[in-house]
Structure 1
Amino acid sequence: MKFVVSSTALLSHLQAISKVINSKNTLPILDCFLLELEGSTLTLTAADSETRLVTSLEVNEADGNGKFAVNAKNLLDPLKELPEQPLTFEINNDNLETFIFFHNGKYNFIGQSGDDYPQPKELKETAVSLTIEPQVLFAGINRTLFASADDELRPVMNGVFFDITPEDLTFVASDGHKLVRCKTLSAKGAERASFILPKKPANLLKAILPKEAETVEIKFDENNAYIKMASYTMTCRFIEGRYPNYNSVIPQNNTNKVILDRQAFLNALKRVSVFSNQASNLIKLQLTDKNIVVTAQDIDFSTAAEETIACEYTGSPMNIGFKSSFLIEILNNVPSTDISLELSDPSRAGLIIPAENEENEDLLMLLMPMMLND
């Protein structure tokens, strides 16, 4: 088997799929890329035990068909240092000895049999299909993923929940302290369905989707999904379990509302939070008609800070506490110049909503308060 391929084209495809490979694998073959040549198409695969990412590129002077596995480091590390040039691969089909010839040298190593590489699970006949524009899928994952948990005791919280109805698609993520619900009218299913996409495939999609231009098709059953994009195909296993009823934790009838400049609020929080107690990260918001006073203090070190920001407030005067690192994270992920902060009382969750939503999108973020001692 023999083929010629551009070094930079090969490197960019391998780097995109290499993030799937774990640093420690139970199966040694999962330390490898699977390369499969058919005609002039070279298909590249990287996998771990639950996620698989496949891409392909055209090669020149292809001769013979076949598949073999190559240790990822043996291929990636030297390619990173090579300038753009054609690489000639020659593989002995009998013992899988592989030679890579380039402009002023060659590498050689022994590949592994491609037949030992794990195959993806077939979807059940009951599989459901969802088509979605790449930018809509990217926005949904990008808005919510930061709020997902790392909780070994409640694995269902460690991913992005897709809630599909015939009217819309809702992306949800929560770690028990903060929650993000992003509803889009730009995608919908033929019937009600849902799944929990784990963090790893969600992060991989976040990296790939901005470069995609064509519609994405997601086919899934209860346990697995095939996500087909123009340049990549991903298969992944879902997190099993029932996602909590996220709508039940969103407080209704919030009579106290603040509208304020997101960036000004964010900058003030970053400055004031430096003076908060390092263990609790507590900051206090004092709300009055025209102003919001942001304060923090650390009694142990006799430090304190206070800043006043102009705002539009309707409601009764109120003091509420939040963990500053969570509030900063939420504000960093709201795509709007002004935000609306909606509160009912100091013991119930606060809602952070963009003052102007993106087209066909309804975004809501929620943060649980911290108790104030005064």
Structure 2
Amino acid sequence: MKFVVSSSELLYHLQAVSRVVSNKSSIPILENILFELAGDKLTITASDLESTMVTSMSLDNSEGEGLVALPAKILLETLKKFPEQPISFDINNDSLAVDILTDRGKYSVVGLSGDEFPEIPEVDKDKSSNLLLPASVLLAGINKTLFATADDELRPVMNGILMEMSPENLTFVASDSHKLVRYQRMDATTEFSSSFILPKKPASFLKSVLVKEDGDVTIEFDDKNAFFVMENHRLVCRLVEGNYPSYNAVIPQDNPNKIIVNRQEVVNTLGRVSLFSNQASNLVKLSITGDKMMVSAQDIDFSISAYENLSCQYSGDAIEIGFKSAFLAELLDNISSEEIVMELADPARAGIFLPLENDGPEDELMLLMPMMIN
């Protein structure tokens, strides 16, 4: 089989699927990318058994058809160094010898049989559900929650994003036991109620390709796999098995102490004051009274300390509470609002962080567990 393709266009599609390729796979075929030519359509597939990414492109100049797996690393590194130009692939279907021809030279590799490549799972129609989402909504849900997922081998259900569908809203939830994020969309509803846990790795794959998708995403899932079909890409991933913890039970209700403060001012202050915190604990203390919030940190071992005062709007009793500054800064970086509301009950209970005004159909809530102040 033969085909001619733009070097930059091929590189774009290869980079999209190559994120799935594992460099340390015990199965050699998985270090390759599968090329399938049928008519004027080239389909490119990569897999690590847990996730499979598929993309396709139309060709103006092609001949024959066939299936071959080509080494991912060599292809990518070579294409990155090419200027924009047409590239010809000449593949012997019997020997799997591949010649890549440019106007200046020839690059030769030997592929593997495409028949060895793992088959893409099929959805179980008897157990499946499906929904249609704008790509922007799915991207927002992943962006808001991915950073809060855990890396916990003992509790794999925490290593992904919970997606809950209902007639009222679509909810994305992630937590690593220290922080929790709940992001809801009132403009994305379903006639059924269901849920699944999207693992962290395929969620990051989706994040990378959704930024260039404008249309809708078809999501179909059964009890084992989820299928995401976009205009230019398709992702199939194995879901996390198990039940997600009851996250609503850990969100404190009726918090009497409410602070309104400028988000960026807090982030900038944290960046300065946290440099003076104990390196092991990374503890910063928030002392709130009247219309003032003091952010302070100290490291007794090195006799260093710092504090800054910020103006705020506060209703409640004077309170002191400690947080891990890295976690607090991470939460604040992911809230899309100039002003934020902090809701506190007491120094031992989780703090709630909300945008002052939720935009339109969005509702976002972030929670952070406090640290003990010595």
Same fold at TM > 0.5: yes
Residue deviations 1:315-371, cap 9 Å, x none?
A: 000111111110000001111000000011111000000001122010000000011
* 1:275 aligned residue: 276
Distance 2:6 2:237 in 1: 29
Distance 2:110 2:195 in 1: 44
* Structure 1: 5+ residue stretches without partners: none
Which letter does structure 1 place at the counterpart of 2:96?
Answer: L
* 1:310 aligned residue: 311
- CA drift of 1:27 comes to 1.1
Distance 1:61 1:181 in 2: 49
* 1:213 aligned residue: 214
Aligned partners of 1:129 and 1:189 also within 8 Å: no
Other structure's SS at 1:190 match? coil
What pairs with 1:23-172 in structure 2 (closer than 5 Å)?
Answer: 23-125=23-125, 126-172=127-173
Distance 1:285 1:110 in 2: 62
Distance 2:110 2:257 in 1: 68
- CA drift of 1:93 comes to 1.2
* 1:239 aligned residue: 240
Other structure's SS at 1:161 match? strand
Which letter does structure 2 place at the counterpart of 1:113?
Answer: S
Distance 2:128 2:204 in 1: 24
Aligned partners of 1:51 and 1:234 also within 8 Å: yes
Distance 2:309 2:321 in 1: 15
* 1:341 aligned residue: 342
Distance 1:76 1:294 in 2: 48
- CA drift of 1:26 comes to 2.1
Which letter does structure 1 place at the counterpart of 2:215?
Answer: E
* 1:285 aligned residue: 286
TM-score by length of structure 2 reads: 0.99
Which letter does structure 1 place at the counterpart of 2:236?
Answer: T
* Structure 2: 5+ residue stretches without partners: none
Distance 2:197 2:26 in 1: 24
Other structure's SS at 1:160 match? strand
What pairs with 1:180-195 in structure 2 (closer than 5 Å)?
Answer: 180-195=181-196
Distance 2:176 2:3 in 1: 49
Residue deviations 1:167-198, cap 9 Å, x none?
A: 21100000000000001112122211111101
Distance 2:373 2:161 in 1: 32
Aligned partners of 1:136 and 1:186 also within 8 Å: no
Distance 1:218 1:155 in 2: 22
- CA drift of 1:223 comes to 1.0
Once superposed, which parts of structure 1, at least 4 consecutive aligned residues long, lie more than 2 Å away? none
Which letter does structure 2 place at the counterpart of 1:181?
Answer: R
- CA drift of 1:163 comes to 1.0
Other structure's SS at 2:248 match? helix
Other structure's SS at 1:252 match? coil
- CA drift of 1:164 comes to 1.0
* 2:223 aligned residue: 222
Aligned residues: 373
Q: Tell me the percent identity.
A: 53
TM-score by length of structure 1 reads: 0.99
Distance 2:326 2:197 in 1: 26
Distance 1:122 1:45 in 2: 15
Other structure's SS at 2:276 match? coil
Which letter does structure 1 place at the counterpart of 2:42?
Answer: L
Distance 1:240 1:20 in 2: 20
Distance 1:66 1:359 in 2: 50
Residue deviations 1:57-108, cap 9 Å, x none?
A: 1123211111110011221111111111111111111111111110100011
- Bigger mean CA offset, 182-191 vs 313-322: 182-191
Aligned partners of 1:29 and 1:69 also within 8 Å: yes
RMSD: 0.8
* 1:366 aligned residue: 367
- CA drift of 1:3 comes to 0.9
- CA drift of 1:51 comes to 0.3
Distance 1:147 1:140 in 2: 12
Which letter does structure 1 place at the counterpart of 2:109?
Answer: F
* 1:319 aligned residue: 320
Corresponding position: 1:331 with 2:320: no
Which letter does structure 2 place at the counterpart of 1:273?
Answer: S
